Amino acid sequence: MQLLTIARAMLLNPTILVLDEATSSVDTRTEVEIQKAMNRLMKDKTSFVIAHRLSTIKNADLILVVKDGDIIERGNHSELLQRKGFYFTLHQSQFEG
> How much is the mean pLDDT over the chain?
87
- Residue 34 is predicted with a pLDDT of 80
Q: Would you say residue 77 has pLDDT above 80? A: yes
The alpha carbon of residue 18 and the mean position of all alpha carbons in its chain are separated, in whole angstroms, by: 11
**In whole angstroms, what is the distance from residue 97 CA to residue 94 CA?**
6
Q: 14-45, pLDDT tens digit by residue?
A: 888 888 887 778 888 888 888 888 788 778 88
**Domain residue ranges of the chain, discontinuous segments joined by +:** 1-55, 61-97
pLDDT for residue 6 is more than 80: no
- Between 2 and 86, the more confident residue is 86
